[in-house]
Amino acid sequence: MIDTHCHLLDESYNNDRREVIERAFAEGITKIIEISVEPSLWQNSVELCKKYSNIFCSFGIHPHDAERYTDYIHLISDEKVVAVGECGLDYHRDSFDKKIQAEIFEKQLEIAKKFNKPVIVHSREAEEDSYNILSRYKDLKGVIHCFSSTPGYAEKFLSLGFYLGIDCPVTYPKADNLKKVVKQVPIERILLETDAPYLPPQKFRGKRNEPSYIKYIAEEIAKIKNIPIDAVSEITDNNAKNLFGI
């Protein structure tokens, strides 16, 4: 299995980062994409990727940090950098200026275009605007990270050629809407992502998430789609390889 989205440099791993990474590889995770959105840690991400051949990296500025955008073009051409993002729009809290978010989102879509990289899109309660912006970038491919919207928007993003990232919330008992989305979307368009240390699976709610918990997402998808868990890992691995070239 490939964890296509986690934040290994988060400070919650400062005491046991190596154990967390080794546990993931010991439990059958073959590759990890580290999502690096904190400029002060960008250099650490580069070093992490140098240290582990199976850890890859994506650089971006999260919509909450749009106002303190810093350029990362100099980092993108490294062979371990497989994507741009996460970047996008987040309207969950109104304290962030929508216009600036859109501007910084597009700036990063331009980087993805220029370097021919897929884009990892963060879209929270902003689907219509995210869709409208992305539909102007016809050649871009990518993933809608931690998809949390309706089956209708799932269709719309699929029609743009995007994959949907499915995270641990799919294991929550009340996630009826997300389970519906998973049922409807072809497995060939789904990526597994933990978003660790955030959003732990039901079994560990309130605790820290980590890449080795990705099996709980695969298990739930297998249950919803009534297919073997091996098929879920094999096909979603292929999806990750196709999109990120890893």
Binding site for Zn ion (CB under 5 A): 195
Residue 228 Cβ vs Zn ion, minimum distance, rounded to whole Å: 28
Residue nearest to Zn ion according to CB distances in the complex: 195
H or E stretch at 167: none
Residue 142 Cβ vs Zn ion, minimum distance, rounded to whole Å: 14
**Which is nearer to Zn ion, 131 or 165 (by Cβ)?**
165
Please give the span between the terminal C-alpha atoms of the chain, in angstroms, as a whole number: 12
- CA pair distance 10, 8, nearest whole angstrom: 5
What are the tokens at 224? Answer: 């919803």
Closest CA to 214 of 150, 168, 174, 171: 168
**Which is nearer to Zn ion, 90 or 237 (by Cβ)?**
90
Residue 37 Cβ vs Zn ion, minimum distance, rounded to whole Å: 7
Which residues sit opposite 142 in a β-bridge? 119
**Which is nearer to Zn ion, 165 or 236 (by Cβ)?**
165
**Which is nearer to Zn ion, 183 or 205 (by Cβ)?**
205
Residue 226 Cβ vs Zn ion, minimum distance, rounded to whole Å: 29
Token look-up 């979307």 returns 185
